[in-house]
Every structure is written in C-alpha cells, then in structure tokens.
C-alpha cells in the first residue's frame, strides 16, 4: 500500500530535490478517458470501474482532488522507483485544517446528522460488513480495519464531548458540563 502524505519524508530517501514552493509551473496533461475516470474515482473515494473488488477504504487517505491524487501517486512512485523525495511536501498533498469543522466545534454546533451518527455506529459492528465479506467484496481484515477506523472516529467525537446515543431515532448532542442532558 502506498504511504500516506505525512510519511513521505525526505529523511528516508537517498536523494532530495528542492520543491521551489515559491514558484508555480502549470502542467497540462491530456489523458485518456479511462485514466481520468480512475483518478476521479480515487479522489471521490468511489468504487473503481473495472476494479470493483478494491475497497475504497484502501485509498481513503488519498487527497480529494484529481491533482492531489496525481501528485500523491507521483511522489510515492518517485520514492519507490528512484528513492527520490522533495525537501517538503507539494502543496496539493499537504494535510489542511478543517476550519469549518473547527468553527462548529467551538460554537457547539451540530457535527453529524442523525443518519450520519447511525451510519458511524453501524460501522463499528461486524454485522455491517457481513454481506460484503460473504460476497467477497472485502476481506475480514478490511472489515476489522474499517471497524477500527469507525471506533477511532467515534472516540474522537466523544473525547470532544459530542454524545452519539445508541437509539436510531436519537440525535447526537453536546454533553453539558458533567450532565448527560440532550439538547
């Protein structure tokens, strides 16, 4: 599996190339339709036409733009094939903060809809993945990784004081200082 952008450091590469981040050089790529469809599916975290058995969670860490996906794969390929890395990560694959989410947390606004909360809680259960495992779409290892990711995401919400009640009809809410009352 390709490394994530945060692990693409120069300290492990034999060669280091200056990024020259202060200058921009446009590059036009004319590609076949299938290549663009593949890159779009990777950026949107969707099933890949012709490779439906690849679980989109395998490439969930990829950037969410076609340019970002191209750069991620190029940087990974340069490292794997030629042991070359840049002195810093290209801007198109850097992790960015989520200012909208930060504002919601600060203002104690709704972070998840009831449907999103229910989906996240379902993803923490093995039963959610049984059909996909039975049909061979995903392996048990993929299911376990997905469960682990869902638990981690759930814990992140809970650690910030956002309560995800188990009832399907219950909405998520912010925990009041030491109290469990719903908003």
Res 112: pLDDT: 86
How does pLDDT run across 102-126, given as a tens digit for each residue?
A: 666 666 777 888 999 999 999 999 9
pLDDT band at 26 (very low <50, low <70, confident <90, very high): confident
Q: Rounded to an integer, what distance in angstroms lies between the CA atom of residue 119 and that of residue 20?
A: 43
Exposed e or buried b for every residue in 82-97, given b needs 16+ CB within 10 A?
eebbbeebbebbeeee
The predicted-structure confidence for 70-112, as pLDDT tens digits, reads as follows 999 999 999 999 999 988 888 888 766 556 666 666 667 778 8
Whether 138 shows a pLDDT value over 70: the answer reads yes
d(CA 71, CA 86): 12
16 vs 96: CA distance, rounded Å:
24
**Residue 5 confidence (pLDDT) above 80:** no
Q: What is the mean pLDDT of the chain?
A: 83
75 close to 90: Cβ distance less than 8 angstroms: yes
pLDDT over 50 (residue 158): yes
Q: Among residues of the chain, what percentage have pLDDT more than 90?
A: 40
Residue 134 to residues 54, 142, 147: CA-CA distances in angstroms? 15, 13, 17
| Residue range 34-84, pLDDT digits in tens | 999 999 999 888 999 999 999 888 888 888 888 889 999 999 999 999 999
Q: Which two tokens stand for residue 83?
A: 């042991």
Every domain of the chain and the residues it spans: 5-93, 99-174
Query: Is the overall model pTM greater than 0.75, yes or no?
Result: no
Sign of CA dihedral 61, 72, 69, 103: positive
Model confidence at 179: pLDDT above 50 = no
For tokens 């094939």, name the residue: 81
């Amino acid at each position: 599996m390709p490394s994530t952008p945060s692990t693409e450091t120069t300290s492990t590469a034999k060669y280091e190339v200056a990024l020259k981040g202060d200058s921009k050089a446009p590059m036009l790529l004319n590609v076949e339709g299938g290549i663009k469809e593949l890159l779009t599916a990777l950026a949107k975290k969707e099933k890949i036409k012709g490779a439906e058995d690849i679980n989109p969670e395998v490439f969930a860490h990829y950037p969410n733009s076609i340019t970002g996906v191209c750069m991620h794969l190029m940087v990974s390929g340069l490292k794997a094939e030629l042991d070359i890395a840049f002195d810093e990560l290209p801007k198109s694959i850097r992790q960015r903060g989520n200012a909208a989410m930060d504002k919601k947390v600060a203002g104690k606004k709704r972070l998840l809809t009831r449907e999103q909360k229910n989906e996240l809680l379902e993803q923490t259960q093995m039963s959610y993945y049984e059909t996909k495992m039975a049909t061979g779409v995903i392996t048990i290892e993929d299911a376990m990784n997905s469960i682990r990711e869902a638990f981690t995401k759930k814990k992140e919400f809970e650690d910030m004081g956002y309560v995800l009640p188990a009832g399907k009809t219950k909405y998520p809410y912010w925990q009041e200082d030491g109290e469990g009352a719903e908003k």
